[in-house]
Chains A and B, each alone.
Chain A
Amino acid sequence: MPKVYRSTVIDAPIETVWALLRDFNSHEAWHPAVAQSRIEGARASDQVGAVRSFRLASGAQLREQLLKLSDRDHSFTYCILDSPIPLVGYVATVRLRRVTDGNRTFWDWRSSFAVPPGLEPVLERLVGEEIYEAGFASVRARLSGGAIPGKGREEAAGTLPRPVLRATPRAIRCHAVVIDRYGEADVLQRRETQVPPPAAGEVRLRQTAIGVNFIDVNVRAGRYPQFPAPLIPGVEAVGEVVDVGEGVVGVLPGDRVGYVCLPPGAYVQYRNLPAERLVLIPEQVSDEVAAAVLLKGMTAEYLLRRAHRVRRGDRVLVHSAAGATGLLLCQWAKHLGAVVIGTVGSEEKARVARESGCDYPIVYTREDFVQRVSEITSGRGVDVAYDAVGKDTLLRSFDALARRGHLVSFGQSSGAPEPIDIGLLTSKSARISRPAVFHYTADPAELKASAGAVFDLLQRGVLSPHITRRAPLSDAARIHRELESRATTGAAVLLPG
């Protein structure tokens, strides 16, 4: 039973090397023998059980399965499922260890397998040299500026210069969900695409979770003509930095980051973005939770603290209180000491909203919410009404306001509201705002503060994510239909496989 063992030292920190290697599909980007690779089905490339299907430069087609992955031990084990080369029962393990002396990485790669008699030498050489050693050389060149092995770098213990991590010249082949024209959910199509190396000031991300927001539906339906089709929808995602362009400081390959930004383009596996749009995700927050909560959480933040300043005792009205943003608004407003009144479409949604801090959920299909608000507030009305429904509710939300109340229209899920005559406001000395989250997070300092507030409350348990739907990116059309059906509660996350 031949066993192959090869090991090397890479002149880069273990975190950097691991960030690259732990992606089971990344070998396409760095191994010279691999021409093309993809993960089958909807699995993520760091999901145990994932199968990579790849073609070698020689034309051979192979399938390998990830059996074990450990971020703690920096190691993974995989086996061959299908191969034209007779490596029988092939199981291999990659393992990294930190070299504290010089902040470098020791990497060993080993396998055992059976071969037809007589073929041991040629297959051992194939595995040991063409796969393992060639892989080492390529990763070394990519991460440590092309140092030559065994050539006396060991003398300068502890004083090795930190390697400069350059963008790989290779474009990454992946898939995206695009629309060629505006329309219903079925215009969302999966398409193969290429993501070039990041430009100066940009960062290339391998996305692990994409947040779905109602704006995606509106963009797809053509309600934002400033974003003409064809386009890739999506304004929010979380991922790992693959490489950085020139001039980028403060963000490194391997960092876990998230972003919220226009123009749309998040329904992809890999993406280039300006580094200043990124926020670092705290260790205790998972990728999926971050993607489900970042944009909606920052929306709740600016609505409750900046567009209007909610104070203890304020009466707050939240429409769609059981929606993903609505639930966060209820949780946060309750935390601020407000009395939270919400509108929902069903008894079940009322229960969900109540559990998130909504004191008075109103099932609007059964009761007139304006009258109910009047009863709850003893005729006074609410100090602030948060309305992302638009056409169906806006004028009635105005009716529910107290004197000097503030109507904040921050979305239009039912369509654009009728124009409002400014004279209407005089009857209550009311205010109307029509804000958008992007204006409240464009400034990098404000972005950081807003995201920081969201993560802080997440970790304190004040905000809790309600992820009710997870689907592979290629199922985006179904997720859009569900969102538009208004039958759902909580947040949906798309997973780029």
Chain B
Amino acid sequence: MVKVYTSSVIDAPADRVWAHIRDFNGLPNWVPPVADSRIEGGVPSDKVGCIRNFNLKDGGNLREQLLALSDYDFSVTYNILVSPMGVQNYLATLKLTPITDGDRTFAEWTAEFDCEPGREQELVDEIGNGVFQAAFDNLKRQLGR
């Protein structure tokens, strides 16, 4: 099982960052590689179990299912049903924690998955840097003081 852990600090209060990322259908607003997104079946995007179907700017298509959402802990957990990346049993959690010192946000994004042997480093890099850290850097630009 490959594990990815990426964490960062965003110079904005945690409830504000949470409001910005809470929408399971909102990836195009803050994750750079994502072009567009819709929730299958037209259900609300905070109904646990809903599936987001989205396309990447480079053309790939993904379907991911919402497994857990917490406004109390500022966290969301989801898995991948379909993707072009060649990963199996992919499970991820995104969580925010307030940094009281400076009223900032500590953001953590973890993922674990299986893949073909030899592809581990490539995928860790693509996901950890290309998606997670790129998204955090984007949040800093959008929300940071």
A7 engages B106 (CB within 8 Å): yes
Which of A25-33, A97-105, A308-316 has 4 or more CB atoms under 8 Å from chain B?
Answer: A97-105
B9 → A minimal CB distance (Å):
5
Write out the residue numbers on chain B whose beta carbons fall within 8 Å of the beta carbon of A133.
101
Indicate if A136 sits at the interface (CB-CB under 8 A). yes
Write out the residue numbers on chain A whose beta carbons fall within 8 Å of the beta carbon of B106.
7, 9, 97, 99, 106
Q: Indicate which residue in B6, B99, B104 contacts A100 across the interface (CB closer than 8 Å).
A: B6
- A95-151 contacts to B, CB under 8 A, are 97-102, 104, 106, 108, 133, 136, 149-150
A7 engages B97 (CB within 8 Å): yes
Q: How far apart sit A150 and B101, CA to CA, in the bound complex (Å)?
A: 7
Q: How far apart sit A108 and B100, CA to CA, in the bound complex (Å)?
A: 9
A108 engages B8 (CB within 8 Å): no
Task: From known contacts A9-B106, A157-B140, infer whether A99 and B98 are also in contact, taking CB-CB under 8 Å.
Answer: no
A157 engages B133 (CB within 8 Å): yes
Indicate if B36 sits at the interface (CB-CB under 8 A). no
Mask for A151-165, Cβ within 8 A of B = 1, else 0?
A: 010110110000000
Task: From known contacts A100-B6, A101-B133, A157-B140, infer whether A6 and B101 are also in contact, taking CB-CB under 8 Å.
Answer: yes
Indicate if B7 sits at the interface (CB-CB under 8 A). yes
Write out the residue numbers on chain A whose beta carbons fall within 8 Å of the beta carbon of B128.
100
B5 engages A98 (CB within 8 Å): yes
B99 engages A101 (CB within 8 Å): no
Number of contacting residues on A, CB 8 A?
23
Q: Tell me the nearest residue of chain A to B109, going by C-beta.
A: A100
Q: How far apart sit A98 and B144, CA to CA, in the bound complex (Å)?
A: 21
A150 engages B104 (CB within 8 Å): yes
B114 → A minimal CB distance (Å):
22
Q: Indicate which residue in B8, B100, B103, B108 contacts A157 across the interface (CB closer than 8 Å).
A: B8
Indicate if A5 sits at the interface (CB-CB under 8 A). yes
Task: From known contacts A9-B99, A97-B108, A101-B133, infer whether A154 and B7 are also in contact, taking CB-CB under 8 Å.
Answer: no
Write out the residue numbers on chain A whose beta carbons fall within 8 Å of the beta carbon of B6.
100-101
B93 → A minimal CB distance (Å):
13
Interface centre among B5, B7, B103 (most CB of A within 10 A): B7
B108 engages A155 (CB within 8 Å): no
Write out the residue numbers on chain A whose beta carbons fall within 8 Å of the beta carbon of B10.
154
A75 → B minimal CB distance (Å):
13
A7 engages B7 (CB within 8 Å): no
Q: Tell me the nearest residue of chain A to B141, going by C-beta.
A: A155
Q: Tell me the nearest residue of chain B to A98, going by C-beta.
A: B7
Q: How far apart sit A133 and B100, CA to CA, in the bound complex (Å)?
A: 9
Indicate if B137 sits at the interface (CB-CB under 8 A). yes
A104 engages B9 (CB within 8 Å): yes
Indicate if B42 sits at the interface (CB-CB under 8 A). no
B13 → A minimal CB distance (Å):
11
Q: How far apart sit A152 and B106, CA to CA, in the bound complex (Å)?
A: 14
Indicate if B11 sits at the interface (CB-CB under 8 A). yes
Indicate if A8 sits at the interface (CB-CB under 8 A). yes
A97 engages B98 (CB within 8 Å): no
- B5-25 contacts to A, CB under 8 A, are 5-11
B102 engages A150 (CB within 8 Å): yes
Binding site for A on B (CB under 8 A): 5-11, 97-104, 106, 108, 128, 133, 136-137, 140, 144-145
Binding site for B on A (CB under 8 A): 5-9, 97-102, 104, 106, 108, 133, 136, 149-150, 152, 154-155, 157-158
The 7 A-B pairs at the shortest CB distance, nearest first, are namely A150-B102, A8-B101, A101-B8, A106-B106, A149-B102, A6-B100, A149-B101
A-B CB contact pairs (8 Å), 15 listed: A7-B97, A7-B101, A8-B101, A8-B102, A9-B101, A9-B106, A97-B97, A99-B9, A100-B5, A101-B7, A102-B8, A150-B11, A154-B9, A154-B10, A157-B8
